[in-house]
Structure formats: structure tokens, C-alpha cells
Amino acid sequence: MTDVSPAPEPSTTDSAPTEQTVAPEAPTDSAAAAPEAPAGPSFDDIALPAPLRRAVDELGFTTPSAIQAQAIPPLLEGRDVIGVAQTGTGKTAAFGLPLLAAIDPSLREVQALVLAPTRELAMQVADAISSFATSIGGLDVVALYGGSPYGPQERALARGAQVVVGTPGRVMDHMRRTNLRLDTIRVAVLDEADEMLRMGFAEDVEEILSHSPAERQVALFSATMPSAIQRVAQTHMKDPVRVSVSPQSSTVKSVRQTYAVVPFRHRTGALARVLATSDAEAAIVFVRTRAAAEEVGSSLIARGLIAASISGDVPQKDREKIVERLRDGSLQVLVATDVAARGLDVERIGLVVNFDVPKEAESYVHRIGRTGRAGRSGEALTFIGPHERRQLKNIERATKQTLAEAVIPSPRDVSKHRLAAQLTQVPERIERGRLDLYRELIGEFVAENGLDPLELAAALGAMSVGDEGPGAPSEEEEFTSAKLAGEDRHERGDRGHRGDAPTTERGYTSYKVGVGHTHGARPPGIVGAITGEGGLHGKDIGKIQIFPNFALVQIRGSLSPEQMERISRAKVGGRELRIGPDQGPRGGKGPRRDGDRPFRRDDRSSDRGGRYDSKRRPFRRNEG
Ligand code: AMP
């Protein structure tokens, strides 16, 4: 093995420039990107063997992506290559095509080995390589990964598969079981090398490489180049050509990246509205922990979204099923932890939401790399808390770009979006006919009630999108970015008046409950329910204002999610309280909808109605 110059210095050879850095580039979409690239490289400039060239055409790749243009020629020459490139840049073809060019399909022995950090990535790479090899007769690719039986993998190896793509752990297992010998390999590829090392595969990778012939060619692809990778390169590579399609931690251009400041307790509501107004075919929501994945997933399901969650410890079989559902369109939203979503390649993902700010810029890059794939455009939205601007700055610095602030859609935006989607289907529905029944019934109804047909259509529209009108419980979660200034001060502990929220007594937070006059709600009932279910004392409750459809209650300090959940289920006047932080009149955009004089808490002594109707906890005022 020859010496190599230490990275990151470029090694010198006379045959080719050894460091080639080109502008970041997303993989080119065959139809969209190829035509207007006359000056750029073409696959005609790359000496691919005919069957591979045919495969490229059949796959619709018209223009090589940057990493392909840079890496394929030296790899075809037999040089070792270090590629700094992320998923989504077309790196699989960058090493997959030259790898196939090096194989003699008439020999039934392992000639190429690709190591990948995860089962998912190993399967994807194996699929991609198989798709490049369709015109090469007698060429077999086998994927070796854990969590699935050895039998089929053993048989594929015994039949003489020439290309092995596997995770280091399972590859080592097959070597130990003598199913796999590496002394015949010509090419070794380390894909997502940084991930492999991060996942603790360094020793396995070393061991595997040391069992391969010294003269084999090595290609190493990695999104980042930490020193551990540079050491691997020094030990196992010969005078490598370095190519890089993007600066470290850069993110794909095809992804529109934004952030929104959303206090934690509003995140699920904000997320649901972002998803409800998104045009993306499918979305991934990233969370930090397994528990959060489950929680956010269930609350999205409860809101009517077709969602599922995966974390690192979801069995591989289930994970594959979920990914398949995401691919075939039967799943809209996947809530996942970083580990679970690593290497996930689903073209339909048009939106990534970071439910919380990733701790490291690298994780951010990996997360948003799940969208904007295969030449499509994507969007990435990151929620930050009011005090997390520094984390945002870190990401911006590391990715060398500025994220624009996004506006969280309001419930009104959601209704608009839903109705617009329904209205587009109206002409087709009219075209299909059989509307006589409805025309007749509606005609009668309009005549009987002296209604304006437009008013009726508006009410039907509102009902069809689930808008129950002002004061309905569904309105309680309203959070809009415009309100944040007030929230921010509030969260910092400045309990002064919020700019656009109703006046709050010092140290008290204003909450809204979904019961009002029309439901017979009276202050004693509300106080009873809140103290009883929330474990609070009467003195924790401040001013109460009751409107026709809801009421505002000032509560000392703030309620925990568990308290809110318990109180929400309590009933007053036969209706659930559904408590939530008060967002002010229409997000500060207009007056409260009710002209009524609200009842004050002081009214309660004279009031007997609308009691908290729990048998377990009779109304008990605890004035303290
Ligand atoms: P990768 O970075 O290898 O995961 O590739 C990302 C996506 O880009 C895959 O869906 C590939 O099929 C697609 N792709 C790769 N190379 C090209 C190309 N030259 N033209 C169009 N699409 C490509």
C-alpha cells in the first residue's frame, strides 16, 4: 500500500487535478434539469461501457450530477476516490456505475463490496446498483443486513453474487460463518463513512478492509470529513483523488429552508396546521426522542392526519412497511427520530419539519436531506423556541445560509386551504350529475328559511372543512407567529401585559375554555372543574369572563400539559372544557366576536347554573 499525503491537503499526481470542488448541486432531474445545460458535462464525455450508458439513459439521467461528473472518470481509471457528498447528490451512481464497469459477470465470485451504515441504506444502494445493472446479463447484487434471516443471504452468496452491499456488522457475521470471502474483491466502497464511524463501526470497517486484497480500488463517500475518516483514508487508500460537491455541512439548494418561532406548547397545533396547508405529497417530522415520536404521531392521528411514527427501536420489518407506505402514498406523515430516518430515500417527501432544533448542524443537514430528492424541490421548516435563536444561528453559520422566517398558518388559512381544495373538485362533480335531489332539498330549505343561497353555501362550506364557528373548541389552539412578541416576553417570566392578548393579572396566565353562556356555563362550574381536575386552589383562579361560546380564565402560573388534559375532559353544562392558552381575539386581528358583556368572576356568588358536572368530584370551592 503506498503512502498517501495527509488529508485535507490534496494529494498530487500528474494525471489529474486531485482536488475538485464544484458548486453544490442537487441531482439533476432528467426532464427538468438536463435541457438547459449545454455548457455542463454530459454523459457523452464519460467513457461508460455501453450497457451502463444504456441503463443511464433508461433511468432518464440526461446530465451527470456534479459528483458524478467529478468522481466517475477517476474511478473508471482505477483511481481511489474520496468524495465529500451527501445523499441526494447522485453519489450512488457516482460509485455504482464505475463499480459495475470493473466487474466480470462471467465470474461467479464477489468482486465488489459496498459498506453502508444502515439496513435501509444498504437496501437502497443494492436496489440502485441493480437498476444500473439491468442490461448486464448474469450480474447479481446481494444486500446483507441485520434483522433479517441469514438463509436467503447465504444462498445469494453461494449462487455467486458479484456485488455485495451490506452493513459492517452483518458483513462481518457472514465472513465469520465463511459464507463470504473478500480475497476476490476488486472494488470496495465505504458509503456514508462518517455515519458508519459515528455508529461505532470503525473496527469492523478496518477489519473488513484488511481482509481484502491490497490492490483493490477504494472509494469513500462521506457527507463530512472528520479526522477519523482521514485516518481511514490514509491507511487504506492509495493516492486518492478528492472530489467535493459541497462545502461541509452544506444543504441542498433545491430545499427551501425556513424557521418559525413556536413555543413548545403550541407546537403540535402549529405542526398540524402546517401539514394541513402544505401541498407536499408526504412529510417527515423530526423529533428528538422515541417518546416524542410516539406522542406527536398520535396527536397528528387524533387530528385526522394519516401519520405513523418510527424510532430506532421499531423492528426492521415494521420500519420497511412504514417506509413502503410512505412511498406508495398510503401514509402522509412520518414522525421520526434521527436514527430511524437515516438514509431514508423517498422521493414523495416534499416537506421536512424539525419539531425541535437539531442539536448539531450535521443532524440538520441529514434531516433536511430527506426532501428535495431526485431533482424535486422540497421545503424544510424548523421550529425554534423563543430562546433558541442561538441554535438557529449555529445552523445558519454551518450551512452558510440564512433561513427565512415562516409564518405559521392560522386556522383561517387551514379552512381556506381545505375549501379551495374542495372547490376545485366542484366542476367535475357538477359534470357527473345526479344533483337533482340536492337541488330540490336545498331549494326547499332556502325558501322555508328565507335564506340567501350564498349564505347557505358558505355554511355548508364551513361545515365541510370542520369550521364550527367562533368559540368552538377547535379554535383554542390558535397560535400565529404574529403573536409571538407577547408570548416571548411571557415565557421569559415577564408577566406584564401581553401586547395582543387580553389583559392578564400579574403572575396569571389567560386560558380559554370551550364553554360559554350558550352552554349554561357559570363561574362556579368553571372554577370547580378547574380546581377539581387541575388540583388547584380557588386562589389560583383569577378573573373569569364568560362569552356566549367560550370563557377566559386567569390562572396563576401556568398549567402543565397533564393538568390541561385532565381539565379539558371535565364537563360543564354537558360540554368538555377543552382548555388551552388564550390566544387573544383572532390573533390580535380584530375585536372579540361577542358583543355581550362578559360575566365577571364576582358574579359567581349570585349564580347557580352551569355547575361542573363530575360525579367523582362535586363542586367544591376551596378559597384557601
Ligand atoms: P443519491 O444521492 O445517490 O441518493 O441519489 C439521489 C437521487 O437522484 C436518486 O433518486 C437518483 O435516482 C437520482 N439521480 C442520480 N443521478 C442522477 C442524474 N444524473 N440525473 C437525474 N437523477 C439522478
What per-residue confidence (pLDDT) applies to 258?
Answer: 92
Ligand 1, atom 10, lies closest to the CA of: 374
- Residue 388 maps to a domain: yes
- Domain boundary, last residue among 365, 381, 409: 409
Summarize the confidence of residues 198-205 as an average pLDDT: 88
pLDDT band at 277; cut points 50, 70, 90? very high
How close is the Cα of 248 to the center of ligand 1, in Å? 20
State how far the Cα of 454 lies from the Cα of 441, in Å rounded to an integer.
15
What per-residue confidence (pLDDT) applies to 571?
Answer: 86
Mutate to test the pocket of ligand 1, among 46, 52, 53, 65 (most ligand atoms within 8 A of CB): 65
Same domain, 337 and 429: no
**CA dist 141 → 138, 163, 415 (Å):** 10, 5, 50
Please tell me whether residue 458 adopts helix, strand or coil conformation: helix
pLDDT tens, residue by residue, 349-392: 889 999 999 887 778 887 887 877 666 678 999 999 888 888 89
Checking if the pLDDT of 176 tops 50, the result is yes
Question: Which atom of ligand 1 has the smallest separation from the CA of 29?
Answer: 21
pLDDT tens, residue by residue, 384-420: 988 888 889 888 887 778 889 999 998 899 999 999 9
Q: Could you say which DSSP state residue 314 is in?
A: S
- Residue 484 maps to a domain: no
Same domain, 341 and 382: yes
State how far the Cα of 272 lies from the Cα of 278, in Å rounded to an integer.
10
State how far the Cα of 202 lies from the Cα of 232, in Å rounded to an integer.
9
- Residue 544 maps to a domain: yes
Same domain, 189 and 337: no
Same domain, 370 and 232: no
Q: Ligand 1 pocket: which residues have CB below 6 Å?
A: 27-30, 61, 63-65, 68, 87-93, 345, 373-375
pLDDT band at 38; cut points 50, 70, 90? very low
What per-residue confidence (pLDDT) applies to 554?
Answer: 87
**CA dist 602 → 271, 313, 541, 606 (Å):** 38, 54, 12, 9
Same domain, 266 and 362: yes
Same domain, 515 and 458: no
Question: Which atom of ligand 1 has the smallest separation from the CA of 88?
Answer: 2
Cell reading at 624:
384557601
Summarize the confidence of residues 299-303 as an average pLDDT: 83
What per-residue confidence (pLDDT) applies to 376?
Answer: 67
- Residue 585 maps to a domain: yes
Ligand 1, atom 1, lies closest to the CA of: 90
Give 583 or 273, the one with higher predicted confidence: 273
State how far the Cα of 568 lies from the Cα of 565, in Å rounded to an integer.
5
Identify the weakest region by mean pLDDT among 163-167, 197-201, 441-445: 197-201
Same domain, 384 and 404: yes
How close is the Cα of 566 to the center of ligand 1, in Å? 50
The per-residue pLDDT of the chain, averaged, comes to 79
By residue count, the chain amounts to: 624
Same domain, 164 and 54: yes
Instruction: Judge whether 486 and 574 are in contact, CB under 8 Å.
Output: no
Q: Report the CATH number that the domain containing residue 404 is assigned in CATH.
A: 3.40.50.300
Strands 508-513 and 378-384: unpaired
What per-residue confidence (pLDDT) applies to 544?
Answer: 83
Q: How many domains does the chain have?
A: 4
State how far the Cα of 328 lies from the Cα of 396, in Å rounded to an integer.
34
State how far the Cα of 530 lies from the Cα of 536, in Å rounded to an integer.
7
Ligand 1, atom 5, lies closest to the CA of: 90
Same domain, 318 and 377: yes
- Residue 586 maps to a domain: yes
Checking if the pLDDT of 624 tops 60, the result is no
Cell reading at 537:
386552589
Q: Report the CATH number that the domain containing residue 526 is assigned in CATH.
A: 3.30.70
Locate all alpha helices (DSSP H) within 353-497, ordered by sequence: 361-368, 389-399, 411-423, 426-432, 436-449, 453-464, 484-491
Same domain, 163 and 235: yes
pLDDT tens, residue by residue, 49-106: 999 999 999 888 888 998 999 999 999 999 999 999 887 788 999 999 999 999 999 9
- Residue 400 maps to a domain: yes
What per-residue confidence (pLDDT) applies to 246?
Answer: 58
The per-type count for the chain, helices as H runs and strands as E runs, is 23, 21
What range does the domain containing 568 cover?
Answer: 493-596
Residue with cell 372544557: 577
Same domain, 103 and 152: yes
- Domain boundary, last residue among 210, 245, 280: 245
Instruction: Judge whether 320 and 347 are in contact, CB under 8 Å.
Output: no
Checking if the pLDDT of 201 tops 70, the result is yes
Identify the weakest region by mean pLDDT among 76-90, 218-232, 433-447, 459-473: 459-473
Same domain, 431 and 509: no
Instruction: Judge whether 372 and 147 are in contact, CB under 8 Å.
Output: no
Summarize the confidence of residues 602-616 as an average pLDDT: 39
**CA dist 112 → 102, 195, 532 (Å):** 8, 21, 68
Mutate to test the pocket of ligand 1, among 25, 53, 62, 92 (most ligand atoms within 8 A of CB): 92
**List of residues 6+ apart from 358 with CB closer than 8 A:** 286, 338, 364, 367, 382, 395
- Residue 478 maps to a domain: no
How close is the Cα of 240 to the center of ligand 1, in Å? 24
Summarize the confidence of residues 174-185 as an average pLDDT: 96
- Residue 265 maps to a domain: yes
